Amino acid sequence: MAAFGFVVIDKPAGLTSHACVSRLRRCYGLKRVGHGGTLDPAVTGVLPIALGPATRLLPYLPQEKTYKSVIQLGTRTSSDDLEGELLEQVPWPELDTEQLEKILNGFRGAIQQRPPQVSAVHVDGERAHARARRGEAMDLPPRPVTIHRLKLLNWDSESGRFTLEVHCSAGTYIRSIARDIGELLGCGGCLASLQRTQALGFQIEQAHPLPDQDQTPPVPLSPLLALADMPRHDLNLNEQVDWRCGRSIHIRTGNEGATVVCNPDGSIAGIGHMNQGNQLRPKVVFDAIG
């Protein structure tokens, strides 16, 4: 039976997310493999990878992400991290943790954030990073993002570095947080290192090292682990036949939006959407008939 489910990779530094997908495609002997949330080559941590038909579930997984980041004050670069060209290096101000916490308060909750010049944002049909590497300077408009949690883990006044845990909405740039904190302090700032510790409902504790081609790959995780917070409907045997044929299921009570649908044995059968009249309409069907 072909592999189905999710594998969580602890992406090493120096590899693209696409390279990790290509490696697992060969390891499992699958053509259909996809990842959830691109990580820059220098970034490490949680990279959920969907195997086989599980790729159809990627849009339904929780999109918020969590990062552990180290920010360097007194350094400004072209990419807002240490990978970019050094633009300026100046002393950072004397700060205690209380003063730093006051600065961080302005970055908690719903904020407007300007993406980095080196980013995947589209500008006139082209990625911003491609234009930035040609030496173009762009006026990227700020976008709304939400910082659900911003926790100061450590402040080292001698090195000018502090560590943050950031739980945020999709589309948030931690490099922008580093840059903007530095601007507020008047000394500049950039991202020194970044690890993603949670993505799409999967945690760093579930992650495996990227396997070599000749290694036995990890056993995939059930998609239900990441969909646990969604409404769920368990099919009986009669409903299972209708579901697999693509017919709507009448249920007594339902929830608006997407619902996880499970087979009588507890395995995932797909995703349904509620219609009027408590009709659960198939949207994603696994093991379909006909």
DSSP assignment of 113-178 equals EPPPSSSS-EETTEEHHHHHHTT----PPPEEEEEEEEEEEEEETTTTEEEEEEEE-TT--HHHHH
Which domain covers residue 78, as residue numbers?
65-199
| Shared domain check, 142 and 41 | no
- Residue 16 domain-assigned? yes
| Shared domain check, 167 and 122 | yes
- Residue 131 domain-assigned? yes
| Shared domain check, 88 and 15 | no
| Shared domain check, 138 and 46 | no
Query: Please, which pLDDT band fits residue 49 given cuts at 50, 70 and 90?
Result: very high
Cβ pair 194, 173 in contact under 8 A: no
**What is the model's pLDDT at position 264?**
96
| Shared domain check, 139 and 81 | yes
Q: What CATH number corresponds to the domain at position 240?
A: 2.30.130.10
- Residue 290 domain-assigned? no
Cβ pair 259, 280 in contact under 8 A: yes
The predicted-structure confidence for 166-189, as pLDDT tens digits, reads as follows 999 998 999 999 999 999 999 999
| Shared domain check, 78 and 49 | no
Does position 36 have pLDDT exceeding 70, yes or no?
yes
| Shared domain check, 125 and 53 | no
| Shared domain check, 131 and 101 | yes
Measured N-to-C along each axis, helices 97-105 and 174-185 cross at an angle, to the nearest 10 degrees, of 120
Q: What is the CA angle 189-123-16, rounded to 5?
A: 65
| Shared domain check, 86 and 11 | no
**What is the model's pLDDT at position 121?**
61
| Shared domain check, 172 and 99 | yes
Percentage above 90 pLDDT, the chain: 75
Percentage above 70 pLDDT, the chain: 91
Q: What is the CA angle 73-167-197, rounded to 5?
A: 90
The predicted-structure confidence for 126-153, as pLDDT tens digits, reads as follows 665 565 565 656 667 889 999 999 999 9
Query: Please, which pLDDT band fits residue 257 given cuts at 50, 70 and 90?
Result: confident
**What is the model's pLDDT at position 213?**
81
- Residue 163 domain-assigned? yes
The predicted-structure confidence for 194-203, as pLDDT tens digits, reads as follows 999 999 999 9
| Shared domain check, 41 and 74 | no
| Shared domain check, 208 and 182 | no
- Residue 117 domain-assigned? yes
Query: Please, which pLDDT band fits residue 46 given cuts at 50, 70 and 90?
Result: very high
The predicted-structure confidence for 86-113, as pLDDT tens digits, reads as follows 999 999 999 999 999 999 999 999 999 9
- Residue 87 domain-assigned? yes
Q: What CATH number corresponds to the domain at position 215?
A: 3.30.2350.10
Supply φ then ψ for residue 122, to 5 degrees. Answer: -80, 130
Count: domains in the chain: 3
Residues assigned a catalytic role: 40
- Residue 276 domain-assigned? yes
